[in-house]
Structure 1
């Protein structure tokens, strides 16, 4: 059985079909497969490691924690991002400090804060209780008007939310728009097509103003309806300049 599991682990680096089948079988084997996956991680390429992370998340075995922490030092930014998300999803003990180091490393590499890796690490830190997003009072009240399972704020309040966040010195990175259909199902819908880039070397106040301008323009052109919700993502000054 051990040799069979080891072969499956190596197949995680195969073409999509082979890797998918190996992933499914490893998930079916469950906890018994975890030690072999951990041992085989260093020999896998980026695709194989990403697939292994998916197995870890499905099996939910805490023994994968140290391996996931190790992947935060990968040369592959997507592997680092997925490892961070998995650490939070699995609530791995001892993950907070490695995640903080990984986030500082992102900033030292000058990775833009709106890219997926720092976004994923911030999400992980928030989920683990190590980061508290700034939620201004008006934004909090407007969120409370939506159902608990709503994917954001009612889109009719987009302009109010943008101004409230900017008035409290928050930089809006981007917004996602969702439509809720029957049975509570949601799907993403296209927004305005606007795509802006911020100069992260600029002073914080300038970033706040620029993000407000672009976000207000987006809000003015965004779809609106009782079934449409907006989910903005924003950061605080402390996310760009974290304490060491």
Structure 2
């Protein structure tokens, strides 16, 4: 079995097909495979490490915690992001400070806050109860629950949400739209406005710039009783977290 598991771990790097079968078999083997995967992580390339993270999440064995924490120091941004999110989804003890450190390192690299890595790490910190998103009263009151317990807001109220967030000094990064039919949720194309913020600008400027662009989106957004919008926003403290 040990030799077989080692062979499966080597296959995790092969994105042409074998990796997917190896992933499924390692998940089926379960906890018995975890120590060998941990030992084999340093020999895997980016694709293999990402696949190993998926195995860790599916098997949910807490022994993978130290290995995931080590991956927060990877040279690859996606590996760092996935490792942080896995630590959060598995509720690994002792993960909060390493994930906080990973987020500070992300900011020190001047990674734009709306890129995937910082967004994923913020999600992880929120799941670990180490970050509390600011949700103004009106925004909280207007929140509706769509299908599959996905939280969103009816798109008809989008402009109100935008102004409420901006009035409370929140910067909207982007928004996604969803259609709910027969308790199923489907992605809906938004207005597709291509806008970027200058993260060197003062926070107050960022707030108003994101308000202006988001209101343009609201003007062109799809509207209907079954159309929901899910904006993503950050607070000033997300750019200057406590040390």
Instruction: Look up the match of 1:204.
Output: 203
Counterpart CA distance in 2 for 1:213 and 1:188 is: 24
Counterpart CA distance in 2 for 1:34 and 1:147 is: 37
Q: Does the CA contact (< 8 Å) of 1:126 and 1:133 recur in 2?
A: yes
Deviations 1:142-186 (A, max 9, x none): 01x44582441111110000000000000000001011111x211
Instruction: Write out aligned runs for 1:32-43 (5 A).
Output: 32-43=32-43
Counterpart CA distance in 2 for 1:16 and 1:50 is: 15
Instruction: Look up the match of 1:30.
Output: 30
Counterpart CA distance in 2 for 1:10 and 1:45 is: 10
Q: Does the CA contact (< 8 Å) of 1:8 and 1:26 recur in 2?
A: yes
Deviations 1:171-222 (A, max 9, x none): 000001011111x211211100112110000000000000000000001101
Secondary structure of the residue that 2:209 maps to in structure 1?
A: helix
Q: Does the CA contact (< 8 Å) of 1:114 and 1:173 recur in 2?
A: yes
Instruction: Look up the match of 2:94.
Output: 94
Secondary structure of the residue that 2:172 maps to in structure 1?
A: strand
CA-CA distance at 1:15 after TM superposition:
2.8
Deviations 1:15-66 (A, max 9, x none): 3310000000000000000000000000000000000000001001000000
Instruction: Look up the match of 1:68.
Output: 68
Deviations 1:70-121 (A, max 9, x none): 0000000000010011011100000000010000000000000000100000
TM-score, normalised via structure 1 length? 0.97
Q: Does the CA contact (< 8 Å) of 1:170 and 1:235 recur in 2?
A: yes
Counterpart CA distance in 1 for 2:60 and 2:31 is: 8
Q: Structure 1 stretches of 5 or more lacking a match?
A: none
Instruction: Write out aligned runs for 1:5-154 (5 A).
Output: 5-143=5-143, 145-146=144-145, 149-154=149-154
Q: Does the CA contact (< 8 Å) of 1:151 and 1:230 recur in 2?
A: no
Counterpart CA distance in 2 for 1:127 and 1:12 is: 28
Deviations 1:109-141 (A, max 9, x none): 000000010000000000110100000000000
Matched, 1:185 2:181: no
Q: Does the CA contact (< 8 Å) of 1:150 and 1:229 recur in 2?
A: no
Q: Does the CA contact (< 8 Å) of 2:15 and 2:47 recur in 1?
A: no
Instruction: Write out aligned runs for 1:222-233 (5 A).
Output: 222-233=221-232
